[in-house]
Amino acid sequence: MSVLDQFHEEQTLGKAYDGRLMRRLLRYAKPYWGLIALCVVLLLVIAVTDLARPYLVKVAIDDHILGSNISYIVVEPDTVTEGPELISLQGYTLQRVKHGEDQDGVLRFELTRAGDQHLLTSSTGDLVLQLSPEEVSSLRSFDRAQIVRLGLLLFLVVTAGFVLNYIQAYALQYTGQRIVFDIRQDIFTHLQRLALAFFDGNPVGRLVTRVTNDTQNLHEMYTAVLVNLFKDIFMILGIIVVMFRLNVRLALVSLATLPLIVVLTAVFRLKARAAYRETRVRLARINANFAENISGMRLVQIFRQEKRKFKEFDDVNRSHFRASMRELNVFAVFRPSIELVYSLAMALLIWVGGGDVVRGAIDFGVLYAFVNYIELFFRPINDLTEKYNIMQASMASAERIFLIMDEEPAIREVASPVPMEKVQGHIEFRNVWFAYIGEEWVLRDVSFTVEPGQTIAFVGATGAGKSTIMNLLSRFYDIQKGQILIDGKDIKELSLDELRRNVGLVMQDVFMFSGTIGENIRLNNPAIDKERVERVARHVNAHHFIDALPKKYDEPVTERGSTLSAGQRQLIAFARALAYDPAILILDEATANIDTETEMLIQDALPKLLAGRTSLVVAHRLSTIQDADKIIVLHRGKIREQGTHQELLAAEGLYHNLFLLQYKEDFPKTEAMG
């Protein structure tokens, strides 16, 4: 990771919320608004079931278990037509009523208890009826029935909450996965549209992290924070409303600690932001240091740099450890602080509410409900640490993802490309100037022409611009000045798909995909069948070693073809190029770094590969290009010499010098051959 990247990381990582980024993220959620709305509605219903549980228990306690809200009035049987069934008891006909339904001028009893005895005591206290166990059972039969009903109702509420939670969690996770799937698809598609210049400045590991880790952070934001935030809001508002409806005084006591929560949350937000930023920056440096060491392990070991590199990594790792501990301290203080406030709120509630219960000002069930609601109230607040951390990670990931998504492709296609029709292979570079950076020109006023079917070779010192010409012809980069034409058509006016379909490329470092050898030759092109794969492999002398493999063309290829030799990979690349049968073939140092035996096979395969097509060859081994129709000698971005092998040797210029350098030990022999 460069210094500039680390600076940008430091500037963006600490933001817990960015409205601009959130709007862009919500656009990905828009196609799934129906599922998201369903999740929100389900969360609302789930919140209602959570709120209902303490209330149902409160009703069971106050109205039926303790019976503190119930009285019994004496009535005439013939005058009562509705309500609970009448109870005949010791010469009285009693009917169950709530305190608020008491009628004036009638005899009213309340159920009390003295030791093991159950008593019915009149409201005036002058009449006490001692009840037998059978009479108590008859008197409380309605309460028993109601407790069973409330128990069943509570079971149904809990079951409904479970089922709805399952549906909501499944729908939410499905939605989150679909959104992240779409984001990954967009990132990958966008990366494929970007020019090679973008990948030159962005390490592979960082791009892989964007598509994997950063999108996973967004998934957690969509599922754990964004939608569940609605449930937290519903729960908090619902709890406040229910508490005030049950008892205003206890509600005010329960919420008395709310200012402390606000202060603690504000302090935590500031401290957590700074701590999180520092930890992520240190983690980025660990990743960069680790990736660099793994990539350069061969160099580290050959020069015995293990101790020095370990010391570097140890310093970076300890820095991350210290930053992580500072972040841990912030999170470790916040949650216990909220727990302390919760305990304080509970203590106030027990102190005030318990006193009210003792004095008879409120029922015990009300206090029980408040205890449960306080616990539910603090639960989302306790989860704030985790949600805040997820939001910070998500905003940082979104920032990095959208930086890639906002990268404009350097290679743009015209709205109406010129059709290529059948490509003849006439190539012309006309006064071409090109630089990778600014005006550091790699090619300077380069002009040459290649006739259809010709083989043109490019030679020169490292950095002369040979491979650059190959990249420009495939339009991996765009030139700053001049024109590149194929069959008289500017390649900027052509469709990229058509252009690259007609230009085959075989490079020195052959890339092999995971799969089989056959799949690496056909590259999943359904038009190339097995017979054609074997035919082209025989044509380029690759069949003999493929046929010797245990599974032949179905032999698995490991990462980058590590179990194959460089020559074998090169022959497979030749077979791949021949299978696609391009009109123009580019060989960019395709015969470098191979053994003598494989070179002989390649030398035999080259004429078959080049036959009938325009070919551009870059080679360090001059022996491989002596039969080229024309050899172009490049030096510091300019064409210095052109001609056949014999013409350039006779001119005794740069090419002649290069030839002498390569064959100085047996020059007399080579001279005789030439």
Tens-digit pLDDT profile for residues 223-271? 888 778 888 888 888 999 999 999 999 999 988 988 888 888 888 877 8
Residue 113, domain member (yes or no): no
Owning domain of residue 343: 3-61+146-405
Tell me what pLDDT residue 471 has. 87
pLDDT of residue 160: 93
Given 370, 405, 440, the domain boundary residue is: 405
pTM here? 0.73
Same domain, 391 and 503: no
Q: Which pLDDT score is estimated for 595?
A: 62
Of 405, 437, 456, the one marking the end of a domain is 405
Are residues 279 and 356 located together in one domain of the fold?
Answer: yes
Q: Which two tokens stand for residue 214?
A: 């950063």
Structure tokens at 621: 């081994």
**DSSP code, position 64:** I
In a domain, 655, yes or no: yes
Residue 85 has a pLDDT of 64
Name the residue among 520, 644, 508 with its Cα closest to residue 587: 508
Q: Quote the number of domains for the chain.
A: 2
> Is 271 contained in some domain?
yes
* CA angle in degrees (0–180, nearest 5) for 402-404-407: 105
d(Cα 369, Cα 363) in Å, to the nearest integer? 10
Q: How many helical (H) and strand (E) elements, i.e. helices and strands, does the chain have?
A: 25, 18
| CA–CA separation, 548 and 454 (whole Å) | 35
| Same structural domain, 380 and 456 | no
Rounded to whole angstroms, the Cα distance separating 192 from 404 reads 12
Residue 3's pLDDT is 38
Question: What's the rounded Cα separation, in Å, for the pair 271 and 41?
Answer: 35
Q: Flag whether 93 is in a domain.
A: no
529: tokens are 């069948």
Q: Both 365 and 435 in a single domain? A: no
pLDDT at 104: 61
Per-residue confidence (pLDDT) for residue 392, from 0 to 100: 79
Q: Is 442 in the same domain as 388?
A: no
Asked if 216 and 344 sit in the same domain, the reply is yes
> Is 173 a member of any domain?
yes
Q: Are residue 432 and residue 360 in the same domain, yes or no?
A: no
Same domain, 604 and 648: yes
Same domain as 395, residue 469: no
CA atoms within 13 A on the CB side of 218: 31
- Coil, strand or helix: which one is 441? strand
Same domain, yes or no: 352 and 464: no
One domain, residues 151 and 288: yes
DSSP string of 211-264, one letter each residue = IIIIHHHHHHIIIIIITHHHHHHHHHHHHHHHHHHH-HHHHHHHGGGHHHHHHH
Asked if residue 361 and residue 273 are part of one domain, the reply reads yes
Question: Which DSSP helix (H) or strand (E) runs through 357?
Answer: helix 306-359
Closest CA to 391 of 228, 535, 591, 529: 228
Alpha-carbon gap, residue 311 to 306, rounded angstroms? 9
Q: Last residue of a domain, which of 343, 372, 405?
A: 405
CATH number for position 162:
1.20.1560.10
**CATH number of the domain where residue 565 is located:** 3.40.50.300
Over the Cα atoms of the chain, what is R_g? Answer: 41
At 344 the pLDDT is 92
pLDDT attached to residue 669: 45
In a domain, 202, yes or no: yes
- 345 vs 382: CA distance, rounded Å: 14
Q: Within the chain, which residues score under 70 in pLDDT?
A: 1-17, 68-69, 77-85, 99-105, 205, 559-562, 590-599, 602, 605, 609, 663-674
DSSP string, 374-403: HHHHHHHHHTHHHHHHHHHHHHHHHHHHHH
Within a domain: 88: no
A 10 A CB-CB count for 345 gives 22
Measured between alpha carbons, how far is residue 217 from residues 149, 389, 403, 594 in Å?
A: 46, 10, 16, 45
Q: Is residue 467, in this structure, part of any structural domain at all?
A: yes
